[in-house]
Amino acid sequence: MRALIGQEVGRRGEAGTDWPRYLYSSPRAAASVMVLGYRLLGPRSLAALGAACARHGLGPALLGSRLHHTDLRKSLTVEQDAMKVELLPALTDNYMYLVIDEDTKEAAIVDPVQPQKVIETVKKHGVQLSTVLTTHHHWDHAGGNEKLVKLEPGLKVYGGDDRIGALTHKVTHLSTLQVGSLSVKCLSTPCHTSGHICYFVTKPGSAEPPAVFTGDTLFVAGCGKFYEGTADEMYKALLEILGRLPPDTRVYCGHEYTINNLKFARQVEPSNAAIREKLAWAKEKYNSGEPTVPSTIAEEFTYNPFMRGEDRAAARGGDGPGHHHEGHPQREGQFQGAPGLRWLQGLEPPWQMPSSAFGYSDVLGKLPPGTAGKSVLV
């Protein structure tokens, strides 16, 4: 596959090559770029390529089998009296989320990478789409913004990064906005990208569980890759910001990475029953085409190694503390240098990391001295 890309780039490397249209005419090369793009081109180059394809209207061609695979994945609607969330599978493993205020029938869409699917879902529910909530600028999250605002003029597009397409409202940490009667608080969680925002959605006065849309910061049993940040920033995002949300907060993440994340978590804590049970459940869901999202903040503290990392017993294969959320605020200041990730130093190589998840392949280079040299098999 690497040789194929080398051949294609060498053969078509002359000045002026229209890469989006060339990839359209060469599905073999397009598939290769999608498989190896993040490793060979890097996230910024691939983001630029994706944006160029979107401008040319060639997204489906570039994505190739990724779009086809989406057809095998089922959507899911999580209904509450005040708020309805529909999970919309996109690409190979992305999720878009339609958030509906039941009182006003006003709606927001999170990371609408496939605009036409969004429009169809909005019509199905008979709601008024007013808002786009973009977690970060990567093309598989923000790449549909420009087309969507053309299909639905007047949309308000929120995000924390000037690199986000069609941005109309730039937000910062603790900015607030309304979607009908729903309150949305913006949480700055830089690391995966410097402008990453998570969106915490509540219904004022309601006892129903709130929701948080975490993009590529927090996954079920995992965390995002450190493209533009540090382990300290990820620790703060996971433990000091997201980890302090109400325990029953439902976590809606950006990708379906659950099984691979849990396989890694099982290696970290082989005796953790919560991990084993969640993995068995996730496999059943995945095999039937159903999503493994949402989780809750409380659940993440039972099986997510990046939120359990302060407890050094985890690295020794222990069960860890029984009530992570209740005890967490008192732990602040106990450790230095990204303590929530330092447990990786206690693992003996070789240890298997999931190659399809963003969360692990860059961790070692971000940890304190003494961690270098650990073997990573991908």
Residues 255, 311, 324, 325: which is the catalytic one?
Answer: 255
Catalytic residue among 136, 196, 324, 325: 136
In sequence order, the 6+-apart residues with CB closer than 8 A to the CB of 112 are 96, 118, 132, 144, 145, 148
DSSP H or E stretch at residue 261? helix 258-268
323 catalytic per annotation: no
Dist. CA 310–CA 97, nearest whole Å: 31
List residues bridging with 86 in a β-sheet: 77, 98
Backbone angles phi, psi at 199, to 5 degrees: -115, 120
Taking the C-alpha atoms of residue 26 and residue 43, their distance in angstroms, rounded to an integer, is 22
Helix or strand run (H / E) with residue 46: helix 42-55
What is the DSSP-derived secondary structure letter of residue 93?
T
Of 93, 111, 137, 192, catalytic:
192
User: Which entry of 111, 216, 324, 325 is annotated as an active-site residue?
Assistant: 216
Amino acid at 158: Y
Q: Is 141 a catalytic residue?
A: yes
Longest CA span, the chain = 62
The answer to whether 115 touches 148, Cβ cutoff 8 Å, is yes
Of 93, 111, 137, 141, catalytic:
141
The DSSP bridge partners found for residue 223 are 218
Residue with tokens 């953790």: 272
Distance (Å, whole) CA 303 – CA 301: 6
Q: Is 138 a catalytic residue?
A: yes
Residue with tokens 């927090």: 218
CA 34, 36, 39, 41 torsion-angle sign: negative
Rounded CA separation 135/186 (Å):
10
162 given a catalytic annotation: no
CA-to-CA separations, 180 to 12, 137, 160, 204, in angstroms, rounded: 50, 25, 21, 12
Q: Which of 93, 111, 137, 138 is catalytic?
A: 138
Find the catalytic residue in 111, 140, 161, 311. 140
Catalytic residues: 136, 138, 140-141, 192, 216, 255
